[in-house]
Structure 1
């Protein structure tokens, strides 16, 4: 069966490309091997879908080719997607730092995209395996699938990366890219929690599992993020940790300022002068939970009345709280990663059209490309923008 456009992958990018291309009058077939479209959309943002960010800039994206994302992001902005959300009357709110979430549930965004696809005449086939793809002698592509054979002028790969395989993520898009001569950059898990195996540290994290510390500054390799951190039974998570994970490499140390809002040496000296008989753990319990204050004093410091500390001991306490240095054992990997770093080398793809420079009529959009956003709605905005860019040319 002949189509103008076949899109493989009915996630955020695939759905957006399908509805945008069909709105131009193209005959669009959207295929997915899963039994349901948009599974990642449904679980994103804790089930509320952080669908974009008010403050999208190219600097919010990681790529070996940092200029690549600029064109698409400029041509379909966060305001364009917000207008679509408003058109469908989906209620939303800014949580913090420009992050926009659904008031109700993520399915509002998925239903909006599916309804736009339906209205534009997109044909959606789920539970469909792709068995073979070949370039057609006369141009375009031939596909053998579990739902039959299809030919198309334009083929769009929107299959995402390797993150969260339980939702159906596979390396399929990378295989197609390699088949048609594309280079792949090494992939690894991004926006992912850290694991800690060093016994004393692991015990501390385990004891504090579920405890969150607000507005810490986490730094690594010249990058810093100020956000919450969360202790887990396996290590560290929370927004600041997820953000820095994309810049971390095995063996790198993390530097965590647990109290960036305080000038710790000065503050400790003031507390010693004003409350000489207060114990250190009492003081720390005003800044952290009582349990965390107690555990820090057990593991890091000797808790005694403030008047008994000499200046060098106070300096050590300030250094430990303001520059906690640790080397994670690793990350939780693709199992829980929100994004895949690396992927198809964008130097072989048009930044204007998302078309392959190796195979005419073949397009790549979304996470399968070597473009990854920070936490906070940026990866969805890349999905929308890259999909829209391709949809104007397929």
Structure 2
């Protein structure tokens, strides 16, 4: 962790590149473009170029590439690629490694998206079954009675929930690997909320920003996708964890960020957090990104890695929702035909039929209780009888 903190301090854009010309030259080399560095960049601060918005970067690179004689028909695509590389290099000291990590993570999650009937019939929780009444409403109210479109909408809904969870984790990981930041290690075990200098140094923080200049504080960041993604009890627990971090690291600055949003109006937990400690800074939208990335183009920096990773990750995972939905519909139709039922009736019976003993709390026995009972019965069977013990 100490090495990671030092690396984050050394990776700050101003330390790696003395001028805008140095940064521009690195992009040229990364893309194997032969051309001189513009002389007007030699005396400029690196951020004057690296923090430009995407449209401005494309325009700048287009003019540059045209000026060095690149053919017009390739200028636009090459300028776009150079602008994207510029933003990725601004965000990460090793854009290629970061992209590969993100692509692998995306492909791993996409491979788990619904592709068979069983994937939407029952979730990981046995009680999470496909709701036939919602499916009937979807089919008739949204899809003009088309069962395949209804299943496709259901698959899309399940997939979106998976992707929402994916993005929550990606935000923490990707922002934690940006220049100047460190991804805080995930707390483990029963004492996950307690500080331990070796195994759990930063409970409550997703991202840590070490002091980047002399006199700067260490900063601890909790990162959420939106302002409504945490309830009040979660906000209270988070605030207590952040306060404990300040006690362990005197002078630390504490942040609770929501990335997507334009205003703190409607922030469900800000009041709860501030009742615990009003000095915890709650931010949303571009203000959150500015603190986390040190750039006014922060939202674009995150989008840039996601755009590339999602495109390449989709190609690697080869997932197609229409193909998956058609396969699922065919399985449901076959099942209905074998039972001599209608499409929705078959799904209804699968979602409601079951052992009567397991459907009422008066007779229900959990799997854990059943295992314990079986274990106890086996141990009684193995024990010597009373007469046998007396003989001994």
TM over 0.5: no
Larger radius of gyration: 2
The two structures have a TM-score, normalised by structure 2, of 0.20
The two structures have a TM-score, normalised by structure 1, of 0.20
From the two aligned structures, give the one with the greater helix fraction: 2
From the two aligned structures, give the one with the greater strand fraction: 1
Q: Greater RCO between the two (CA within 8 Å, min separation 6)?
A: 1
